[in-house]
Amino acid sequence: MIKKSEVTSILLAGVGGQGILKASDIMCEVLMAAGCDVKKSEVHGMAQRGGCVTSHVRYGHKVYSPLEKAGSVNVLLSFEKMEVLRYLHYLDTESAIIVNSEKINPPAVNIGASHYPVDFIDNLQKKFRLVQEIDAATLAKKAGSIKTANIVLLGALSKLMDIDFKIWLKIIEISFPEKLVKMNIDAFQMGINA
């Protein structure tokens, strides 16, 4: 469990359209409501065309920069399976990885110029403190919509954070229109239980 008194770095990574920025916004609101100093940085790139999207979130008693140097990120939350490989240099062996099992082929794979890597999760589990793969899409569909996969992943991440569950629920409730609140809370709970 990560203590909120420590300065903690979380890197969210995926591709455009997966709700990474919404997830990082919710996480930052939760952390601020819990009394943490929070800094965030995001990169959109070619997000609207399926390009890489990242968001660095750092929190603790006092945080001076939103970015963490390579080898120092505490948790990588990867919204797409292969994206975890792109950001391994930010981790060390004590880092935790939560990875969505969803595969989104990059253009090089789609045109046959490259292959999607296989069987790398087992290797990661041998090298890092915690590697948890979650089928967020299936859980999101059970919650009511594939669009809640980002909230499923937040639920899984919340288990590693020293933040009261009630704060998460309160922020989720105010982050969505009323008709979508229950579905997102269900998705969050499914992520916790995954």
Instruction: Report the domain count for the chain.
Output: 1
pLDDT at position 175, please? 98
Residues in the chain, pLDDT under 70: 1-5, 44-50
DSSP letter for 89, please.
G
- What one-letter code names the amino acid at 34? A
Q: 78 - beta bridge partners?
A: 13, 99
pLDDT at position 50, please? 63
Q: What backbone torsions phi and psi does residue 45 show, to the nearest 5 degrees? A: 50, -135
Range of the domain at 106: 8-193
Can you tell me the distance from the alpha carbon of 109 to that of 158, in angstroms, rounded to the nearest whole number?
Answer: 33
Cite the DSSP H helix spans in the chain: 20-33, 83-86, 107-110, 121-127, 136-143, 149-158, 165-175, 178-193
pLDDT at position 16, please? 85
pLDDT at position 192, please? 97
pLDDT at position 134, please? 97
Task: Give domain status of residue 45, yes or no.
Answer: yes
- What one-letter code names the amino acid at 49? R
Task: Give domain status of residue 1, yes or no.
Answer: no
Question: What CATH code is carried by the domain that includes residue 32?
Answer: 3.40.920.10
Task: Give domain status of residue 3, yes or no.
Answer: no
